[in-house]
Amino acid sequence: MNLSMKDKILQHFLQSKGEPISGQQLADELGISRTAIWKHLQTLQEEGYKFITIKKKGYQLVAAPDRVDAAKISSFLKTKRFGYSIHYFEEIDSTQSYAQKLARQGAEDGTVIIAEEQTGGKGRMQRIWHSAKGKGIWMTVIIRPNILPHQAPQLTLVAAVSVVMAMKSLYQNFTPEIKWPNDILINGKKCAGILTEMLAEMDRVDGLLIGIGINTNHELDDFPEDIQSIATSIAIEEKKKVDRAELVAEILKNLEHFTDEYVENGFTSIKTLWEEHSGTIGKRIKASTIRETIEGQAIGITDEGVLEILLDDGQVKKVYSADIEIQN
């Protein structure tokens, strides 16, 4: 894992679960001087981590800021590849744009770009995505599955299943649902969105950028007024603040597992999970594509992840890309 020395020191403290660690022990394990350890601890204090010295025992971490930095995420990580390279920013224009640059430079499978705040976050169809500072998860994961270009849209559905399963394993007070193709709703309100972009040649996918934006610790006032009636956050629904780094690690574990499952065994098992957690299937919807607006009942998705709509005249229409409005 490509952690800086400061992050390696922090990781030791996060994994010690509040037990003190001697400066000498750290120095010996990391191969640096005790003075260097002390300097790194000073930097961590400036970033909001709080240490106290306990006589004859060493340093103890007593308070940590709510951040999604590499050390914090890696202290929860249970993956083989994903999240072993993490690029963390206090502020960035867009994790997706930065990921594009890194992917072209050969960034490895499972590389994560994550920020406390995005100044130019984007959703589907170049819409603005509001990314409040320190409140949400704003990240892009670079994945390099061995698939053909026409299979790429299915990875949005794989990512949606990964996010929902991560939420379900950590939180008890709500049930997330997937709105085709890329939104996660809780009680009918939007909590997360997924944006997949492809780098490809004619016959092969070079890489996919899976952008994931999750309203995590927002209160209602943190949302712009015009979306307060249609947006929510995990904290609002779970009725308490949650650890963002823990959720990131859980999503990465699921995304690695379900991507590998998809590449090895196809879409079948993931399709079943997607349909189980869908808030779209069985509902009457209005689908707006570039060319037309279609109304009818969403009856399922194909093995390619294409939405099937039963029209009022009995025809079944396949929709590859659209904005979906669920009708009462």
pLDDT tens sequence across 107-128: 999 999 999 999 887 655 555 6
* Structure confidence at residue 205 (pLDDT): 92
- Rounded Cα distance between 5 and 37, Å, is 9
Structure tokens at 284: 């009457």
Q: Are residues 14 and 119 in the same domain?
A: no
Q: Are residues 198 and 304 in the same domain?
A: no
Residue 184: beta bridge partners?
Answer: 178, 192
* Structure confidence at residue 137 (pLDDT): 97
Coil, strand or helix at 260:
helix
Dihedral of the CA atoms 115, 120, 124, 129 (nearest 10)?
Answer: 70
Query: Using omega within 30 degrees of 0 as the cis cutoff, is the peptide bond preceding 181 cis?
Result: yes
Write the pLDDT tens digit of every residue in 150-166: 899 899 999 999 999 99
Q: Are residues 235 and 152 in the same domain?
A: yes
* Structure confidence at residue 182 (pLDDT): 87
Taking 50 as the pLDDT cut, the residues of the chain under it are none
Write the pLDDT tens digit of every residue in 44-89: 999 999 999 999 899 999 999 889 999 999 999 999 999 999 999 9
* Structure confidence at residue 129 (pLDDT): 62
List the one residue out of 98, 101, 146, 102 whose CA is nearest residue 118: 98
- Rounded Cα distance between 300 and 281, Å, is 6
Q: Are residues 96 and 52 in the same domain?
A: no
Domain span holding position 226: 70-277
Q: How far is CA 60 from CA 16, 25, 54, 77, 214, in A?
A: 9, 13, 7, 22, 32
Q: Are residues 55 and 128 in the same domain?
A: no
Is 118 annotated to bind a ligand? Reply is yes
Q: Are residues 265 and 288 in the same domain?
A: no
Number of domains in the chain: 3
| H or E segment and range at residue 96 | helix 95-104
